[in-house]
Amino acid sequence: MTTESVTRCPFSGIPANNTTPMRQTVSAPVLDEDPFDEGVLADPHPMHQRLREAGGDVVYLPAYDIYAVARYDAVRDTLENWHHFSSAAGVGLANFKKETPWRTPSLLLEADAPQHDAPRAALEKILGARKLRHYQDGWLDTAHQMVETLLDDHQHNARADGSLEFDAVTEISEVYPLSVFPDAVGLQQSGLDNLLPYGNFAFNAFGPRNRLVTDELDTIGSVMDWVGQQCPRESLSKEGFGGDIWQAADQRDITEEQAPLIVRSLLTAGVDTTVYGISAVLYHLASNPKQYARLREEPQLVRRVFEEALRLESPVQTFFRTTTREVQIGNTTLPENQKVLMFLGAANRDPRRWDDPDAFDLDRDPSGHVAFGSGVHQCVGQHVARLEASCVLEALIERVERIEFTAPPVRKINNTLLGWKSLPLRFTPA
Ligand code: QZP
C-alpha cells in the first residue's frame, strides 16, 4: 500500500479544510491489513512498517472495524491517556459493552479508575522490587541448578569439544519460570501443567475468534476450572504472592471478593509472558555471538540485554483500548466507543524514536520501550520478569562459553504473543 493512494475513513471524516477553530482534523488512512493473519503473526515486522508509514498517527482497519496506532509517540500517548482510552471495555478485540467476556473481567487489566486503584496498589506492593529481594538468592540458585541439570542431562550425546544440543524453549524458557513462579505464588504442586495452556488461551482470546481460539474451546474448560480452584485462600500457602493477596484482604486494602480474581491475574499474566521473554533474549544472544561474548566480559550488562531483547521482540505485541468519547490522535478524530489497537512491537522499532531500530545493540539505552506498556496499567509484574531473566542469564554466562543455533528457530503463533515454539541451540560449556 502506498501513501499516495490512501483513502480516508468515512466514519471520522471531517474535511481537511474544516475551519472549526482549534480542530483541524483529517480522517484516518484506511489499510487493508489483517494483524491476526497467521502469516503476519509469524512475521509482523513488514506489516508494522506499513502501519507506521501509512501517512498518519492512527490508521483504520476495516477488517475488524478498529483503529490502530503503531508509531512510538501515538502508542505511548494512547497508553498514558487512560481517561480517553479505557480498559474497562476489555483490552482485546471484544467490546465488553456489546459482547459477553469469556471470563469474569480482570480487576487489574480490564478496569479503570477508581475500581482499578485498590487492586493495583495492593499488587504493586506485593510484586515491588523491595519485596522481591526476598526471592533473589533462591531464584539465582534455581537458575544455576537448571543449567547444571541441562549440561548433565545431555552429557551422553555431547560432542568431542564438550558442546551439547537441545531445545532451549522446552529446556530453559519453559522450565525456569515454572520452577520459581508457582512456588513464589504459593501454588500446590499438582496441576501446574495447566498454567501454560491457560496463558496461551488467554492471550489468544484478546484477538478475534479465529482457529487459535476455537481449536482450544473443547479443552479449555477443565483448565479454567483448575485455575479457579487455585485462587481461594485455602489453596494457597500462607507465604508467597497468593498469601500476600489474601493478607491484603485481611487488612481491608482489597475486599475478600476481589482477592481470588487478583490471584487469577498472577496465574494469567505471570507465566507465558516470562517464558516468551526468556526465549526472546536467548534468541537474540544466539543470533549475536559477539554480543554474548561481550556479556560474559561485562556481566553488569545483564539487565540491559534483557530490556533490549524486550524492545526488539516485545513478547506482548498488541492490546486494545476503547475510546470513552470523541477524541483526537494526531490530526484525526476518533468516535466514541471505538476499539484502538496499540502495536507495542511496532512502537519499539519506530525509526522516529530509535536509531537503527532493528539492531540488537548493547550500546543503546533501551529504556522507554513500551514492551511493559506505559502509564497507570504498566506491567505490575515487570520486576518479577526482570529478576527471572537476570537469574537465567547470570547462571548461563558463568557456565556456557558459546551459544549457537543448530537449526532455524520455529515461531509459535499466538494472537497476542510473539515468540518461539522451538530454539534449537548448541551450548559450549565454559
Ligand atoms: C494478562 C489479568 C499484557 C497484558 C495483556 C498481560 C495481562 C495482564 C493482566 C492479566 C492478564 O489480570 O488477567
Q: What is the pairing mode between strands 66-69 and 339-343?
A: parallel
318 near 348, Cβ under 8 Å? no
Taking the centre of ligand 1 as the mean of its atom positions, its distance from the CA of residue 424, in whole angstroms, is 29
Q: Is 106 in the pocket of ligand 1 (CB under 6 A)?
A: yes
Mean pLDDT throughout 55-74?
Answer: 97
Q: Is 27 in the pocket of ligand 1 (CB under 6 A)?
A: no
Q: Is 319 in the pocket of ligand 1 (CB under 6 A)?
A: yes
Task: Look at residue 369 and tell me whether its pLDDT is greater than 70.
Answer: yes
Instruction: Give the closest residue to 278 by CA, choosing from 196, 148, 392.
Output: 392
CA gap 168, 148 in Å, rounded:
14
Let me know if 273 is exposed, middle or buried by CB neighbors in 10 A (0-12, 13-18, 19+).
Answer: buried
Greatest CA separation found in the chain? 77
Instruction: Give the closest residue to 243 by CA, choosing from 120, 126, 105, 388.
Output: 126
Q: Whose CA is nearest to atom 8 of ligand 1?
A: 269
Taking the centre of ligand 1 as the mean of its atom positions, its distance from the CA of residue 310, in whole angstroms, is 17
pLDDT digits (tens, 9 = 90+) for 301-327: 999 999 999 999 999 999 999 999 999
High-pLDDT (> 90) share of the chain, %: 93
- Look at 356 and 2; give whichever has higher pLDDT: 356
43 near 325, Cβ under 8 Å? no
Residue 242: pLDDT band by 50, 70, 90 thresholds?
A: very high
pLDDT value for 141: 98
pLDDT value for 45: 98
Q: What is the residue-averaged pLDDT of the chain? A: 95
pLDDT value for 25: 82
pLDDT digits (tens, 9 = 90+) for 86-106: 999 999 999 999 999 999 999
Q: Is 385 in the pocket of ligand 1 (CB under 6 A)?
A: no
What the block records as the C-alpha cell of 177 is 519460570
169 near 425, Cβ under 8 Å? no
CA gap 9, 25 in Å, rounded:
12
Task: Look at residue 2 and tell me whether its pLDDT is greater than 60.
Answer: no
Task: Look at residue 118 and tell me whether its pLDDT is greater than 50.
Answer: yes
pLDDT digits (tens, 9 = 90+) for 4-63: 344 444 443 333 333 344 456 889 999 999 999 999 999 999 999 999 999 999 999 999
Q: Is 108 in the pocket of ligand 1 (CB under 6 A)?
A: yes
Taking the centre of ligand 1 as the mean of its atom positions, its distance from the CA of residue 306, in whole angstroms, is 20
85 near 321, Cβ under 8 Å? yes
Instruction: Give the closest residue to 240 by CA, choosing from 118, 134, 146.
Output: 134
pLDDT value for 26: 86
High-pLDDT (> 70) share of the chain, %: 94
